[in-house]
A and B are shown apart, each in its own frame.
Chain A
């Protein structure tokens, strides 16, 4: 079924996020991107972990899974393995992606499954009242006194071997929608780190310094996004400015091109192979 109206991608459940929360605009952008990409709600599974931003699955009119903290990515891969024809989108917070789920991210991204991961990065654990997350850097409210460097999500995503890495911001809906469309279109593992500040607690990731809230769009004409070193360099520039746009993209075999995707839907047509297997188990 094709939907022409972004509102039709919204369930009837009212959003439960705080007023001013960046995630509200991420949801809007996602509904627009789904509309423009012509994605069928019945053929889409939105998989989230736990935390504020993971509530997004309740608000999007599609199939959805709201799983334990940190486990969204492997659950989503399971969905995709079972039925590669589904559009599978993973969404959640920076804690899900880079804290509890970091082990899954580094190992599953490099396998290049055909998934899109939307990471709403607010630099804090919002549901538990704003403790600093890995992307919150030194000096963040509530951070330990020990000097530590914030995790650089974009550089990490490029280093994992993800084949599409972008950064967006809830402040720039127009660009964010476009990035989501590109990510959905990308064949392979696409990830967007989305700066989505926590308005009520005043928290945000260190990539978005309070004194320079305006983000800078990456100019595709001058940034060679197929060059991994150039992408890493751009991701690690320390000039106090937040860059949004596509950092890196690569065409590479997906996990599914290495697997037999003709997964049979029922178990009744494989009896011949079972007889053959049992013949091999004769003493």
Chain B
């Protein structure tokens, strides 16, 4: 048995996996189960992976359920529903002792280990129903029986989730579910200890994906224009906004390449609209020239980079955190930009709003980093309270007697900005080095002065944001620093460190560029050893920290295309 399976800190939560192949309705049944469970007031974190093929290939839906907020995707399987042989084999090693395995008895599966097996004649039942694709619902019925999940709410969600496919499809699926439930009642004797946790009474939750949350955050911030070029795994931000932004007075336009998306967003911003585009690593690469232009011409714009694995075409559907250099340091010349990274679905809402505020306040491009696993992950979050959304606008140019200087030197580097249509505010936003009026210049002092002006704006960013969250003992042996979704795995590892009495601390920065140097230095001074945890080869955050602070961090870094798990931090013995 892998050692981490012996460390089960919290039996209140359940990790359910449904595995099979594309086309078996894995995502559909996972989604239905997620919704039903979330409706009962539990926290839910659902994650899915699938091969790039449209249909076929391995498919996996994972659902973590808990009465407490869920920090990461977890690392031990309590319940496995296998709809084909590979679905069992590829998950066999991660099963917790006493794991419940529900499988189609048509599979040649050799029952072994400490799992508790429930073979179900899914092939026979689905055959009798005349619907070979209904195995997923039969399995759901058996699962509902074994976990004592109320059937009526599940039937209701099946109806709502499949309503668009027509009444006969709904009917067939409910029937298959009922058949599974009946089979469970009549033929299955429960031998495992698992039950659905009691709901935490979270009745004001939303259940949404990371990409939907970015779209929602953008709308809450007042985004008015979202141009996008489809690219995995960022596409669904645009799809979601296409459904919602036009009805709220904004525009979504699909472009034919990523450069065009950035150009449209920047043009819209010049004209006074809050604008955002979304892309993934390859798109961010080709946008660099325009991001540099926005920095030089001091135009606010938000760019979401949903990171995927590897360079070039890489691993388009997999997780990795390897665009930090590209986001913070990409592009030629000294051009200011701000980079923030979301750690979970709630962050996707809040940090997207913050990104707009930063862009407008400092008149710079702001890059929001997300990643492939976060983009797909569906998680319950507290429903945002719109009355408390803070929206920051740009410093407006007020009409005055003197002639307007768009790039006027000010104490904080922020120059008032006019909007086309405003008489007397005419100016040229240029990417060539310019004077306060926007006229071209190549004089040594001008370039130095204006570069300093543009960077002066960044010097206030760290202090203008809420303090960086720190967790753990005030003085600790080990101090972890992580970013993005890896923060969730560190948080969960911290819970386990607490349980075994290891004095650890962790810092969870959201702002990555400019690097929050003060917070990092203060944190490092409170621990004996700093370890950066991140999902890339080069140790990108660790390298930036080395370059900009006196901290010499150690590094835990994995780059397998799969998010780092709590065990991969907690289980390390080399610190």
Q: Mark A237-264, 1 if CB is under 8 A from B, else 0.
A: 0000000000000000000000110111
Asked if B263 is at the interface (CB within 8 A of a chain A CB), the reply is: yes
Residues A65 and B249 in contact, CB atoms below 8 Å apart:
no
Q: Mark B256-289, 1 if CB is under 8 A from A, else 0.
A: 1101100111111111111100000000000001
Q: Chain A interface: which of B80-88, B92-100, B167-175, B212-220?
A: B212-220
Complex A-B: 11 CB contacts under 8 Å: A42-B425, A58-B428, A65-B270, A74-B255, A82-B269, A104-B259, A263-B225, A269-B249, A274-B248, A277-B219, A283-B38
Residues A77 and B267 in contact, CB atoms below 8 Å apart:
yes
If the complex has contacts A65-B428, A273-B248, are A81 and B421 also in contact, measured as CB distance less than 8 A? no
Within 8 A of B (CB), among A43-96: 43-45, 47, 50, 57-58, 61-68, 71, 74-83, 85-86
If the complex has contacts A74-B260, A267-B274, are A68 and B289 also in contact, measured as CB distance less than 8 A? yes
Give the residue among A50, A79, A81, A104 with the most B Cβ atoms within 10 A: A81
- Residues of chain B lying within 8 A (CB to CB) of residue A266: 222
If the complex has contacts A63-B420, A67-B293, are A82 and B208 also in contact, measured as CB distance less than 8 A? no
- With beta carbons under 8 angstroms apart, the residue of B273, B386, B422 that contacts A271 is B386
Asked if B431 is at the interface (CB within 8 A of a chain A CB), the reply is: yes
A83 CA / B260 CA spacing, docked (Å): 18
A74 CA / B76 CA spacing, docked (Å): 49
Asked if B423 is at the interface (CB within 8 A of a chain A CB), the reply is: yes
Within 8 A of A (CB), among B405-457: 420-432, 438-440
Q: Mark B495-527, 1 if CB is under 8 A from A, else 0.
A: 000000000000000000000000000000000
Residues B421 and A64 in contact, CB atoms below 8 Å apart:
no
- With beta carbons under 8 angstroms apart, the residue of A67, A68, A103, A262 that contacts B257 is A103
Q: Mark B386-417, 1 if CB is under 8 A from A, else 0.
A: 10000100000000000000000000000000
- Residues of chain A lying within 8 A (CB to CB) of residue B259: 71, 74, 104
Asked if A275 is at the interface (CB within 8 A of a chain B CB), the reply is: yes
A57 to chain B, nearest CB (A): 5
- With beta carbons under 8 angstroms apart, the residue of A44, A263, A281 that contacts B251 is A263
Residues A42 and B421 in contact, CB atoms below 8 Å apart:
yes
Asked if A129 is at the interface (CB within 8 A of a chain B CB), the reply is: no
- Residues of chain A lying within 8 A (CB to CB) of residue B227: 78, 81
- With beta carbons under 8 angstroms apart, the residue of A41, A264, A282 that contacts B207 is A282
Residues B429 and A66 in contact, CB atoms below 8 Å apart:
yes
Residues B391 and A62 in contact, CB atoms below 8 Å apart:
no
Residues B246 and A42 in contact, CB atoms below 8 Å apart:
no
A78 CA / B227 CA spacing, docked (Å): 9
Majority SS at the chain B contact face = mixed
A162 to chain B, nearest CB (A): 16
Within 8 A of B (CB), among A1-31: 1, 13
Asked if B247 is at the interface (CB within 8 A of a chain A CB), the reply is: yes
A107 CA / B207 CA spacing, docked (Å): 37
Asked if A211 is at the interface (CB within 8 A of a chain B CB), the reply is: no
Residues A281 and B256 in contact, CB atoms below 8 Å apart:
no
- With beta carbons under 8 angstroms apart, the residue of A47, A86, A278 that contacts B216 is A278
Asked if B68 is at the interface (CB within 8 A of a chain A CB), the reply is: no
Residues A71 and B421 in contact, CB atoms below 8 Å apart:
no
Asked if B205 is at the interface (CB within 8 A of a chain A CB), the reply is: yes
Asked if B39 is at the interface (CB within 8 A of a chain A CB), the reply is: yes
**Chain B residue at minimal CB-CB distance from A78:** B267
Residues A260 and B207 in contact, CB atoms below 8 Å apart:
no
**Chain A residue at minimal CB-CB distance from B227:** A78
Asked if B546 is at the interface (CB within 8 A of a chain A CB), the reply is: no
**Chain B residue at minimal CB-CB distance from A270:** B248
- With beta carbons under 8 angstroms apart, the residue of B219, B249, B257, B264 that contacts A78 is B264
- Residues of chain A lying within 8 A (CB to CB) of residue B439: 13, 58
If the complex has contacts A71-B259, A81-B225, A82-B275, are A274 and B427 also in contact, measured as CB distance less than 8 A? no
- Residues of chain A lying within 8 A (CB to CB) of residue B289: 68, 71
Q: Mark B185-214, 1 if CB is under 8 A from A, else 0.
A: 000000000000000000001111000100
- Residues of chain A lying within 8 A (CB to CB) of residue B264: 74-75, 77-78, 81
Asked if B162 is at the interface (CB within 8 A of a chain A CB), the reply is: no
- Residues of chain B lying within 8 A (CB to CB) of residue A103: 256-257, 260
- Residues of chain A lying within 8 A (CB to CB) of residue B271: 45, 78-83, 86
The 10 closest A-B pairs by CB, nearest first: A267-B222, A78-B267, A264-B249, A283-B38, A74-B263, A82-B273, A82-B271, A66-B430, A82-B268, A78-B264
- With beta carbons under 8 angstroms apart, the residue of B267, B297, B384, B440 that contacts A82 is B267
Give the residue among B35, B219, B266 with the most A Cβ atoms within 10 A: B266
Residues B272 and A82 in contact, CB atoms below 8 Å apart:
yes
Residues B272 and A104 in contact, CB atoms below 8 Å apart:
no
Asked if B107 is at the interface (CB within 8 A of a chain A CB), the reply is: no
Residues A1 and B423 in contact, CB atoms below 8 Å apart:
yes
A255 CA / B255 CA spacing, docked (Å): 13
Interface size on A, residues (CB 8 A): 56
Residues A65 and B297 in contact, CB atoms below 8 Å apart:
yes
**Chain A residue at minimal CB-CB distance from B36:** A283
If the complex has contacts A57-B428, A274-B248, are A79 and B421 also in contact, measured as CB distance less than 8 A? no
A60 CA / B38 CA spacing, docked (Å): 60
Asked if B290 is at the interface (CB within 8 A of a chain A CB), the reply is: yes
- Residues of chain A lying within 8 A (CB to CB) of residue B422: 42
- Residues of chain B lying within 8 A (CB to CB) of residue A281: 206-208, 212, 216
A267 CA / B257 CA spacing, docked (Å): 28
B527 to chain A, nearest CB (A): 39
Within 8 A of A (CB), among B77-127: none
Asked if B253 is at the interface (CB within 8 A of a chain A CB), the reply is: yes
A30 to chain B, nearest CB (A): 15
- Residues of chain A lying within 8 A (CB to CB) of residue B263: 67, 71, 74-75, 77-78, 104
A26 CA / B260 CA spacing, docked (Å): 27
A54 to chain B, nearest CB (A): 10
Asked if B221 is at the interface (CB within 8 A of a chain A CB), the reply is: yes
- Residues of chain B lying within 8 A (CB to CB) of residue A68: 289-290, 292-293, 431
Asked if B470 is at the interface (CB within 8 A of a chain A CB), the reply is: no
A79 CA / B267 CA spacing, docked (Å): 5
- Residues of chain B lying within 8 A (CB to CB) of residue A262: 249
B166 to chain A, nearest CB (A): 20
Asked if B244 is at the interface (CB within 8 A of a chain A CB), the reply is: yes
Residues B251 and A81 in contact, CB atoms below 8 Å apart:
yes
- With beta carbons under 8 angstroms apart, the residue of A50, A63, A104, A267 that contacts B426 is A63
Asked if B224 is at the interface (CB within 8 A of a chain A CB), the reply is: yes
- Residues of chain A lying within 8 A (CB to CB) of residue B536: none
B228 to chain A, nearest CB (A): 13
A213 CA / B384 CA spacing, docked (Å): 68
- Residues of chain B lying within 8 A (CB to CB) of residue A259: 246, 251, 253
- With beta carbons under 8 angstroms apart, the residue of A63, A71, A108, A263 that contacts B250 is A263
If the complex has contacts A58-B428, A260-B251, are A278 and B206 also in contact, measured as CB distance less than 8 A? yes
A29 CA / B246 CA spacing, docked (Å): 39
Residues B225 and A78 in contact, CB atoms below 8 Å apart:
yes
A260 CA / B253 CA spacing, docked (Å): 11
- With beta carbons under 8 angstroms apart, the residue of B205, B206, B266, B420 that contacts A43 is B420
Residues A62 and B426 in contact, CB atoms below 8 Å apart:
yes
Asked if B565 is at the interface (CB within 8 A of a chain A CB), the reply is: no
Residues B256 and A107 in contact, CB atoms below 8 Å apart:
yes
- Residues of chain A lying within 8 A (CB to CB) of residue B272: 82-83, 265
Q: Other than the known A262-B249, A267-B223, what 15 A-B pairs have Cβ atoms closer than 8 Å? A: A13-B439, A41-B426, A61-B426, A67-B290, A75-B267, A78-B268, A79-B268, A79-B270, A81-B225, A83-B271, A259-B253, A264-B224, A267-B222, A269-B249, A270-B248
Residues A267 and B224 in contact, CB atoms below 8 Å apart:
yes
A67 CA / B391 CA spacing, docked (Å): 28
Within 8 A of A (CB), among B18-36: 34-36
Asked if B380 is at the interface (CB within 8 A of a chain A CB), the reply is: yes
- Residues of chain B lying within 8 A (CB to CB) of residue A269: 249
